[in-house]
Amino acid sequence: MSFTTALFWFFILIGVVIYYVLPSKVRWMWLLVLSYLYYFSFNVKNSLFMVAASLVIYLAALAMEYIQDKSDAYLKEHKAEIDREQKKKLKNSVKHKKRIILVIAMLINFGVLAVLKYGGFITGNITAVLNKIGIDKTVYALSNYVMPLGLSFFTFQSISYVIDIYQGKYRAERNPFRICLFVSFFPQIMQGPIGRFDKLQKTLFAGNAFNLQNIQFGIQRIFWGLFKKMILADRAGVFVAMIFNKPDEYGGAMAIIAVLMYSIQLYADFSGGIDIVIGVAQLFGVTMDENFRQPYFSKSIGEFWRRWHITLGTWMKDYVFYPFCLSKAMNKFGKWGKKHLGEHVGKTLPICLSNLLIFFIVGIWHGAEWRYIMYGMYNGVIIAFSNLVEPLYKKCLHACHINPHKKWWQCVQILRTFILVNIGWVFDCSAAGMGSAVRMIKRMITDLRFDQLNAVMFKSIGLKSADYIILAIGCVVVLIISILKERGVQIRAAVAAKPIAVRWLIYYGLIVAIFVLGYASDAGSGFLYANF
């Protein structure tokens, strides 16, 4: 049931009506039924992995909390009898036992992710090595036969819960069905956002009362997401698929346009999908984290990743970056760097290594291919290098009498960042592999072939003249909305405050645009991030 099918919206309509008819105490149970119906409709066998992940973190959290509670009760009962050293030993023992349970839970969940998502990559490389040394044998992976949808998303969301319990952030949930709903909540299961239990539980299990504003705002958000997906992403996807699937037939100029089209497709597809997810959740009164904040207005690659796929970035920061960067080993490394390489370099090196680790994981998270690893490391290296040369960068600005707060310089930074981001998109989009991506970048520099930029060539891609005009107008609309949001305008509240005639003119305009101008093609049949 794709978000763009009539069946899905009939499913949502029935789901919302029944949700508000049911008593408030059992409404969250209906959400669990909806979530399992939705996910199981794709593949029942593959869905069992999601159920297993839920049960693993549920039991692990209870076990860790039981150990902690038992220790706290013992300390309270024997407070007068236990000296400081014994108390320290007991706490270390408890921490060790909890860590063992945490590691087991993480190994199970990440182990399933590794086997299913990366087994093909590993066995493919083993097969290639064997063939090179003269052994004609093919090694097959389990991922050739089993691949649950949204595996990365529900795995990361599950792991966040069990780590939070280990750290004592909140109490473990006693009801296993609530954990199942947290992991499987159907709007977000395919492409996020990656939720946190302590935030999501406030509205997910609350049995929310009917609120007309939630319905209105939810529908607005849904139609805005459909606008971006069906009018922009699916059209741009036709152009992208044609060029990237046959990269050797086109020159560098067409490749540059294809990458720009991909930047439109990916943003409109992913952010549009997230708009639909957040809008559907709001129909049930459930509040989800925002995942985008005008990323193409970023003035650096680091800022871009704080605005793009925000929940993945915060997950990486909280559960990978800080634990690694603040570890004893990194602390020693930082002290060594300060002593031998200077204060700034010594302070920055642990941060740089942490960022490289983060973006290696981000690359792998996107897919089990070398091009994704290259994509991640490309971003990580730029951020690490930027951190290292920051003092030199500031000196250069001062020497050139450039005020970094001036609007013109900020525009230069935005343009520079946009270009760097688009270079990275080449690795992300090149379906033929990393070698094809490198060749395409080379053609963008050495073999532009401007003679291909003609009306006949553009029409041969599969889009009509009207499609290019619609794309241009749609991009202008998205740009205007993004500028308003960047300036702090609350778009939905602003629309709701308009006279009723103006409001409905906007609503009808959006609906008509989607139904009349929406583009349907094989290239735009699903959402890109559902594959992750």
Q: What is the pLDDT of residues 441-489, one digit of tens each?
A: 888 888 888 888 888 888 888 888 999 999 999 999 999 999 999 999 8
Where does a domain end: 147, 180, 209?
A: 209
Q: 230-239 pLDDT, tens per residue?
A: 999 999 999 9
Mean pLDDT calculated for residue range 413-439: 88
Token pair for 260 = 């720009």
| pLDDT tens column, 244-253 | 888 788 888 9
User: 159 and 54 in one domain?
Assistant: yes
Q: How far apart are CA 271 and CA 297, in angstroms?
A: 15
- Structure tokens given for 449: 């072939």
Residue in 112, 107, 111, 113 with CA at minimum distance from that of residue 60: 107
Query: Are residues 193 and 232 located together in one domain of the fold?
Result: no
DSSP secondary structure string, 390-403? HHHHHHHHHHTT--
Predicted confidence band of residue 178 (pLDDT cuts 50, 70, 90):
very high
> What are the residues whose beta carbons fall under 8 Å from the beta carbon of 99, sequence distance 6 or more?
166
Residues 202 and 221 in one domain: no
Residues 438 and 486 in one domain: yes
Residue 524 in this model has a pLDDT that exceeds 50: no
Count of domains forming the chain = 2
What pLDDT does residue 124 have?
Answer: 67
Residue 319 and residue 167: Cα distance in Å, rounded?
11
In a domain, 335, yes or no: no
CA dihedral angle for residue 263, residue 264, residue 268, residue 269, rounded to 10 degrees: -60
Residue bearing the bigger pLDDT, 78 or 184 = 184
Q: Are residues 478 and 451 in the same domain?
A: yes
Same-domain check for residues 42 and 177:
yes
Residue 439: give the domain boundaries.
216-292+430-531
Residues 6+ apart with CB under 8 A from 163: 102, 319
Which whole number is the average pLDDT over 319-329? 92
Residues 204 and 221 both lie in one domain: no
Note the pLDDT tens digit of each residue in 361-420: 999 888 778 888 899 999 999 999 999 999 999 999 989 999 988 999 999 999 999 999
Can you give the pLDDT at residue 453?
Answer: 85
Q: Tell me, what's the pLDDT at 525?
A: 55
**Domain final residue, candidates 173, 192, 209:** 209
Among 113-122, 225-234, 507-516, 519-528, the range scoring the smallest mean pLDDT is: 519-528
Q: Is residue 348 part of a domain?
A: no
The kind and range of the H/E element at 469 are helix 465-486
Q: pLDDT grade, residue 144 (50/70/90)?
A: low
Give pTM, 2 decimals. Answer: 0.90
Boundary of a domain, candidates 209, 232, 248: 209
pLDDT at position 523: 47
